[in-house]
């Protein structure tokens, strides 16, 4: 098996300084993924003094590990959203994504970022999958999307039908990020890497952020870190951390469209143009809750085996991504605590953050202006709100999320010894520093993953991602 390095990050990368001295800003954005960089850019364009803080390097989180489809057809997500939300909220969600996709398309055209227009498909290979796909077609029409039913596809295996939506986008996420970072800096925004947030306090209308090197103050803070870091206001209990896998192949077959199955195990398929006029095949799938797979390596091997046997070709890269699902099925973008406009969050994009990121950044920027009396929230804001009455409808699903967490904690009480000690640095204690879960060895990525809320740690104990801000303790 190839090393777990994302195709997108296997390239020369610019570096940015670490924030080492105290500073003060109007807005500090924590997290330099697509949502964080876009939010920083829009804030800078609005005249705010902005800094973006990144614990590692730009794009090291979900953005650099995505399959990079910018689509309004998102598997069967619209019909899932409809289960706990009204039709008008689903339409608002689609409208927000339409605005986000249009913003990205315009940005790419103006700044010469390559992208490809492709039809998107959600397809089925089984009778249950067909029922889900037909339901998605119905909800897509209800939401105003011009989707169609297709009996056959170009895929080299039989399907029971597919929903098709024309004129969607695919791109190279780090080429997009390079252009966005350049614009952030050109607009006066500042970007700091290697600057991990470790604490945050909100007093007297000013937020103080503590990093590993210094303190920073700001009027407003936006946490765009995937799952919000720290333990504030229980967002970790309303989110579901998921890992999924991807591979790139030099294959004799590549698709014209972008495909996602409605069956389990889920399968994602798209092409990627590369230098010389060739194209790679990108496949994805085999997702699971972070830290709860018997073997992550087996998941990767299963995906690669399926790709080789179905399409043929040589694997060039394999990688994995982490994203967050929410109780309501919709993103959480807004105040971290109702009534307090000092700390904001942007999370819960459930693998579709590229289309939603511009909308999330726009919503936070406009909402802050609205608080100052200089603007108003976008009309679709309720589909992206961090706290709404729809959370009541999602209580059952929240309970299901946390039943799983409770089960894992009970297991850990009975198994406090480090089960995978043969992999461990002998001086490390295998207890997650977020809420005390017993971390488990990820045999694909050689990391320690927490099955409670998705914090992940490197072999030396340092934090990779998730809500934890401190590394594994030394014995």
The structural domains of the chain, with segments of one domain joined by +, span 17-65+175-238+329-393, 398-465
pLDDT of residue 413 exceeding 60 = no
Task: Please state which of the ranges 111-115, 144-148, 384-388, 432-436 shows the lowest mean pLDDT.
Answer: 384-388
Question: Which helix (H) or strand (E) covers residue 400, if one does?
Answer: helix 395-414
Q: Which of 355, 357, 352, 343 is nearest to 387 (CA)?
A: 343
Q: How far apart are the first and last CA of the chain?
A: 33
CB atoms near residue 49 (< 10 Å): 17
Tell me, what's the pLDDT at 344? 95
pLDDT of residue 42 exceeding 60 = yes
Average pLDDT for the chain: 90
Task: Please state which of the ranges 29-43, 233-247, 269-283 shows the lowest mean pLDDT.
Answer: 233-247
> pLDDT band at 414, cuts 50/70/90?
very low
CB contact at 8 A, 267 and 306? yes
Between helix 87-110 and helix 127-142 the angle, nearest 10°, is 80
Question: pLDDT digits over 25-34, tens only?
Answer: 999 999 999 9
CB contact at 8 A, 133 and 124? yes
Q: DSSP character for 169?
A: E
Tell me, what's the pLDDT at 205? 79
Q: What percent of the chain has pLDDT over 90?
A: 80
> pLDDT band at 226, cuts 50/70/90?
confident
Tell me, what's the pLDDT at 312? 97
> pLDDT band at 428, cuts 50/70/90?
confident
If you search the block for the tokens 């990391």, which residue do you land on?
A: 447
pLDDT of residue 322 exceeding 70 = yes
The pairing of strands 340-347 and 332-337 is antiparallel
Tell me, what's the pLDDT at 1? 47
> d(Cα 172, Cα 61) in Å, to the nearest integer?
15
**The model's pTM:** 0.92
Exposed e or buried b for every residue in 158-194, given b needs 16+ CB within 10 A?
ebbbbbbbeebbbbbbbbbbbbbbebbeebebbbbbb
Question: Which residues is 471 bridged to in the sheet?
Answer: none
Of the options 3.40.190.10, 3.40.50.300, 3.40.462.10, 3.50.50.60, the CATH number for the domain spanning 17-65+175-238+329-393? 3.50.50.60
CB contact at 8 A, 419 and 440? yes
């Amino acid at each position: 098996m190839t090393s777990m390095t994302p195709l997108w990050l296997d390239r020369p990368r610019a570096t940015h300084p670490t924030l080492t001295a105290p500073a003060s800003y109007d807005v500090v954005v924590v997290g330099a993924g697509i949502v964080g960089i876009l939010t920083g850019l829009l804030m800078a364009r609005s005249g705010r003094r902005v800094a973006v803080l990144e614990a590692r390097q730009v794009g090291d989180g979900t953005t650099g590990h995505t399959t990079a489809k910018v689509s309004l057809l998102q598997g069967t997500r619209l019909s899932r959203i409809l289960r706990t939300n009204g039709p008008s909220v689903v339409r608002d969600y689609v409208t927000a994504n339409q605005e986000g996709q249009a913003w990205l398309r315009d940005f790419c055209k103006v700044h010469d970022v390559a992208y490809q227009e492709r039809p998107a498909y959600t397809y089925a290979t089984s009778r249950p999958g067909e029922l889900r796909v037909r339901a998605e077609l119905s909800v897509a029409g209800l939401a105003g999307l011009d989707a169609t039913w297709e009996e056959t596809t170009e895929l080299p295996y039989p399907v029971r039908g597919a929903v098709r939506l024309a004129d969607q986008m695919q791109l190279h996420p780090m080429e997009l990020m390079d252009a966005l970072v350049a614009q952030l800096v050109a607009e006066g925004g500042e970007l700091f890497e290697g600057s991990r947030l470790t604490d945050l306090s909100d007093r007297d209308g000013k937020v103080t952020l503590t990093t590993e090197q210094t303190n920073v103050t700001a009027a407003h803070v936006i946490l765009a870190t995937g799952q919000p870091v720290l333990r504030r206001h229980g967002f970790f209990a309303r989110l579901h951390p998921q890992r999924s896998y991807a591979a790139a192949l030099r294959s004799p077959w590549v698709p014209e469209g972008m495909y996602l199955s409605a069956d389990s195990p889920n399968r994602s398929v798209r092409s990627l143009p590369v230098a010389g006029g060739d194209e790679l095949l990108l496949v994805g799938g085999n997702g699971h809750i972070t830290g709860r797979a018997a073997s992550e390596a087996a998941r990767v091997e299963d995906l690669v085996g399926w790709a080789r046997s179905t399409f043929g070709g040589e694997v060039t890269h394999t990688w994995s991504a982490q994203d967050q699902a929410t109780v309501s099925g919709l993103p959480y973008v807004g105040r971290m605590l109702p009534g307090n406009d000092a700390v904001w969050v942007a999370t819960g994009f459930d693998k579709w953050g590229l289309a939603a990121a511009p909308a999330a950044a726009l919503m936070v920027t406009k909402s802050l202006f609205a608080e100052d009396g200089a603007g108003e929230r976008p009309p679709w804001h309720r589909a992206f709100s961090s706290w709404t009455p729809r959370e009541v409808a999602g209580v059952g699903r929240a309970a299901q999320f946390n039943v799983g967490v409770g089960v894992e904690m009970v297991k850990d009480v009975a198994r406090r010894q480090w089960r995978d000690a043969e992999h461990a640095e002998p001086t490390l204690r295998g207890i997650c520093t977020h809420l005390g879960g017993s971390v488990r060895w990820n045999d694909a990525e050689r990391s320690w993953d927490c099955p409670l809320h998705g914090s992940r740690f490197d072999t030396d104990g340092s934090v990779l991602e998730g809500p934890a801000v401190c590394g594994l303790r030394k014995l």
